[in-house]
């Protein structure tokens, strides 16, 4: 009895200009995919033969070009064709992959898989809590288990839940019924945190529901506002042994989720870039982090914007400031051969600077992917990177040969700070900057989403 395993993920951002290329995908095939996926043991222990396909995962970016998408999708389809007698398929998706000329990358692949496998084959998925679920997903998959944490810390648990549900469905011979309830709201992703109320209680409820014998999985998907597509919104998805239960529970969760729509607020200070910079300069805390949320590389933005750096340069501060992770291949290339301590002129900023340190940058999988150059403009240091990267932990600063602990103000291109940086932050300020990952829904000019949609429209709704 075979179970096919694969993963194909890239969170798309319609506003981002850079489309992911092949080299942007961390890629494994065959047995090596289990360096990344944790499901092999559960399937093997349950007596199944595990058939690995590919693992292909990229950092959030612009929409995926059709030929890049098909290059990977066809490899998964080939594994399915070679093993069309499989009794199960397990795929770890993000759930918000938008493909040029195709639409939802997840849906297309599932449709193609469904044409190949037998009617009895059970398809189980793991998805990110920010997945934009398409209404047709229930026609092509049987089980979905979404992350229950934002920021995400339960990827492995979510994989195992989906794997165990798949085993249960195959062994019991009962194909789950999936019910999807769209919830017409689209909120600032960074205000939705599962360790805070009201989401905390709602997530706990989904976990209790999953203890029931008749429910495989109960999920809240919060949606992802940076894709302009008809499936962009929150949703609830319940997989149960019968249609009535799945529908009833999904609707009940949807109504509860809808009822909370006005309660999501930033848990940290969120201000305009100008005000954020002033607050950081004037704050008395030992170390203040400012997040440049509109240019958040973990949400698909390019990380090229120097607006916040310029705001600091305009204000002559005595504090030691570091602006980390500005994507600029030209600057790194142009000054790479200069020695540390040498003076240079940075045309892009019309400023003199001193080369402070040469270093490396880390990719999504924490591997070294390129070079970084730290330039000092008086008290203000800026780390330029030749490729897009995300400064999410102290190691990013270490690899760039900069001392995180020496700074009083640190700017990173994120929304909320990653957990790994929190111990170094005595205060966090969320700068509401513009850009590909701008969190202000009203500014996104979404034209393809369904309407009415809260908060763009004010209306009554019930599932």
Q: Kindly tell me which of 128 and 381 has the beta carbon lying closer to Zn ion.
A: 128
Short-list 226, 401, 413, CA closest to 306 = 413
**One character per residue 415-444, x = contact with Zn ion (rule: CB under 5 A):** ------------------------------
Instruction: Rule CB under 5 A: say whether 128 interacts with Zn ion.
Output: yes
Q: Kindly tell me which of 216 and 221 has the beta carbon lying closer to Zn ion.
A: 221
Instruction: Rule CB under 5 A: say whether 190 interacts with Zn ion.
Output: no
Q: CB under 5 A: which stretch of 2-10, 124-132, 160-168, 352-360 binds Zn ion?
A: 124-132
Report the residue closest to Zn ion, judged by CB: 130
**Total binding residues for Zn ion by CB under 5 A?**
2
Q: Kindly tell me which of 289 and 416 has the beta carbon lying closer to Zn ion.
A: 416
Q: Kindly tell me which of 130 and 356 has the beta carbon lying closer to Zn ion.
A: 130
Residue 288 DSSP class? E
Q: Kindly tell me which of 96 and 389 has the beta carbon lying closer to Zn ion.
A: 96
Instruction: Rule CB under 5 A: say whether 148 interacts with Zn ion.
Output: no
Q: Kindly tell me which of 11 and 24 has the beta carbon lying closer to Zn ion.
A: 11
Task: Tell the smallest beta-carbon distance from residue 270 to Zn ion (Å).
Answer: 19
Task: Tell the smallest beta-carbon distance from residue 79 to Zn ion (Å).
Answer: 26
Task: Tell the smallest beta-carbon distance from residue 249 to Zn ion (Å).
Answer: 23
Q: Kindly tell me which of 13 and 53 has the beta carbon lying closer to Zn ion.
A: 13
Report CA-CA distances (Å) from 196 to 149, 266, 435. 10, 11, 27
Q: How far apart are CA 329 and CA 334, in angstroms?
A: 8
Task: Tell the smallest beta-carbon distance from residue 147 to Zn ion (Å).
Answer: 7
Task: Tell the smallest beta-carbon distance from residue 129 to Zn ion (Å).
Answer: 6
Task: Tell the smallest beta-carbon distance from residue 128 to Zn ion (Å).
Answer: 4
Q: CB under 5 A: which stretch of 27-35, 123-131, 239-247, 255-263 binds Zn ion?
A: 123-131
Q: Kindly tell me which of 130 and 358 has the beta carbon lying closer to Zn ion.
A: 130
Q: Kindly tell me which of 106 and 128 has the beta carbon lying closer to Zn ion.
A: 128
Task: Tell the smallest beta-carbon distance from residue 414 to Zn ion (Å).
Answer: 13
Q: CB under 5 A: which stretch of 107-115, 126-134, 204-212, 371-379 binds Zn ion?
A: 126-134
Task: Tell the smallest beta-carbon distance from residue 204 to Zn ion (Å).
Answer: 20
Instruction: Rule CB under 5 A: say whether 130 interacts with Zn ion.
Output: yes
Task: Tell the smallest beta-carbon distance from residue 151 to Zn ion (Å).
Answer: 8
**One character per residue 202-221, x = contact with Zn ion (rule: CB under 5 A):** --------------------
Name the residues that contact Zn ion, by CB under 5 A: 128, 130
């Amino acid at each position: 009895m075979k179970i096919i395993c694969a993963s194909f993920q890239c969170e798309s951002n319609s506003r981002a200009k850079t489309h992911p290329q092949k080299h942007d995908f961390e890629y494994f095939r065959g047995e090596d995919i289990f360096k990344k996926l944790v499901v092999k043991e559960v399937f093997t222990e349950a007596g199944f033969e595990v058939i690995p396909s590919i693992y292909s995962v990229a950092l959030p970016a612009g929409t995926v070009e059709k030929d890049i998408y098909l290059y990977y999708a066809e490899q998964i389809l080939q594994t399915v064709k070679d093993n069309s007698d499989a009794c199960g398929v397990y795929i770890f998706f993000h759930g918000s992959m938008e493909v040029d000329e195709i639409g939802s990358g997840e849906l297309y692949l599932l449709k193609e898989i469904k044409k190949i496998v037998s009617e009895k084959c059970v398809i189980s998925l793991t998805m990110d809590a920010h997945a934009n679920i398409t209404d047709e997903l229930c026609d092509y998959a049987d089980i979905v288990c979404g992350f229950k944490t934002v920021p995400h810390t339960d990827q492995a648990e979510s994989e195992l839940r989906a794997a165990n549900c798949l085993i249960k469905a195959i062994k019991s011979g009962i194909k789950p019924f999936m019910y999807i309830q769209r919830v017409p709201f689209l909120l600032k992703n960074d205000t939705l945190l599962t360790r805070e109320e009201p989401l905390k209680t709602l997530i706990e409820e989904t976990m209790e529901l999953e203890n029931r014998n008749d429910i495989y999985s109960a999920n809240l998907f919060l949606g992802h506002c940076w894709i302009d597509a008809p499936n962009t919104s929150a949703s609830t998805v319940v997989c149960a042994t019968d249609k009535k239960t799945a529908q009833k529970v999904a609707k009940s969760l949807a109504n509860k989720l809808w009822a909370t729509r006005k309660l999501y607020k930033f848990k940290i200070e969120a201000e305009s870039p100008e005000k954020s910079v002033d607050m950081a300069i004037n704050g008395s805390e030992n170390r203040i982090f400012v997040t440049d949320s509109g240019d958040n590389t973990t949400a698909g933005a390019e990380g090229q914007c120097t607006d916040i750096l310029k705001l600091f340069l305009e204000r002559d501060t005595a504090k030691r400031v570091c602006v980390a992770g500005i994507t600029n291949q030209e600057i790194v290339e142009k000054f790479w051969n200069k020695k540390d301590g040498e003076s240079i002129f940075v045309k892009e900023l019309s400023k003199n600077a001193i080369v402070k340190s040469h270093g490396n940058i880390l990719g999504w999988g924490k591997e070294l992917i390129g070079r970084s150059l730290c330039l000092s403009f008086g008290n203000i240091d800026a780390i330029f990177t030749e490729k897009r990267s995300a400064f999410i932990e102290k190691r990013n600063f270490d690899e760039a040969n900069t001392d995180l602990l020496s700074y009083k103000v640190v700017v990173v291109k994120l929304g909320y700070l990653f957990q790994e940086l929190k111990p170094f932050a005595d205060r966090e300020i969320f700068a509401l900057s513009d850009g590909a990952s701008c969190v202000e829904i009203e500014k996104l000019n979404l034209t393809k989403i369904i309407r009415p949609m809260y908060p763009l429209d004010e209306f009554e709704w019930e599932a």
